[in-house]
Amino acid sequence: MNDRQIAKGDIGMDKRILTCAVTGAAPVGKDKQVPVTPKEIADSSIGAAKAGAAIVHIHVRDPETGAGSMELKYYREVVERIRDSGVEVLINLTTGSGTRFIPTPENPGVAAPGSVMKTAAERVQHVVALKPDICSLDFQTMWMGNNAMINPPWMIAEMGAAIREAGVFPEYEVFDSGDIHLAKKLIAEGKIEGPGLFQLVLGAGFGASPSVQTILYLKDLLPAGAIWAAFGIARMEFPMLAQTFLLGGHIRVGFEDNRYLAYGKPAPTNAALVEKARRIVETLDGELASPKEARAILGLK
């Protein structure tokens, strides 16, 4: 067997799950292609699924202002539209909202306007009500711009218990090495399930840097048997996608993370980002997993 055959057998023919994070909660600004209304978010999710995404990761926005929202009614409409479409795709709802704290300069112990801190129950209400296939569970406490994103360990444990009770599979989003150590501690204490599905977030705020060295370091910290994926932010989305694929991880693209196909070339749709991701994977002799295959990989019904 030659080196090419070894490489193809060990890496290239593995099926990889592609997640599309369709909108996020960051300001839309001038990027009018970013979906805002529940119908736009659902349609964009369906388009991404048809292009090859096995999972769609969903935030919702206020249809009038475009700002990130936690309203159950918007989540319900998005989820129902996707389910009613007949398109097969795994639905992954975020629980990352409700963690923003901005200190008031004159009195840092008081939250400044723009702070949004919610209880564990508020952060998972849509997951409990709608029972998606997957939901995110964030571990980071870190600075992102002028905002502190706060996820207390006791709140993570409380959310994890509610997610488990709802029968939803959690995706552990980790932004640096300390997040993984915390996750392993909570798994060891039986407060969350292990070994888990971990999503390595590279290049967000003051978290882990987007590099091969970072991926290698973080994935080596994961619990034995954990399933892992990674993605890069902004211009590092596609470089990190290729590196993650080559290192054996699952992958992610989408307007939440990046809005460009290449420098100076805005992506018209989430589907276009998925199509470019597919081309990269296939160029590296790989294949994207179908939703059915993704369920099998993750051990979902």
The single residue listed with the structure tokens 């939901």 is: 135
Nearest to 254 by CA among 86, 72, 26: 26
| CATH top-level class of 3-298 | alpha beta
| 54 contacts 17 by C-beta, under 8 angstroms | yes
| 20 contacts 58 by C-beta, under 8 angstroms | no
What are the residue ranges of helices labelled H in the chain? 3-7, 38-51, 72-85, 120-130, 153-165, 177-188, 212-221, 237-246, 270-283, 291-298
Task: Name the token pair of 27.
Answer: 């300001």
Q: 92: alpha, beta or left, given left = phi > 0 and alpha = psi -120 to 50?
A: beta
pTM: 0.94
Give pLDDT tens digits for 195-221: 999 999 999 999 999 999 999 999 999
Radius of gyration of the chain (CA): 18
The full set of domain ranges for the chain reads 3-298
Per-residue confidence of the chain (301 residues) as pLDDT tens digits? 333 333 333 433 579 999 999 999 999 999 999 999 999 999 999 999 999 999 999 999 999 999 999 999 999 999 999 999 999 999 999 999 999 999 999 999 999 999 999 999 999 999 999 999 999 999 999 999 889 999 999 999 999 999 999 999 999 999 999 999 999 999 999 999 999 999 999 999 999 999 999 999 999 999 999 999 999 999 999 999 999 999 999 999 999 999 999 999 999 999 999 999 999 999 999 999 999 999 999 999 8
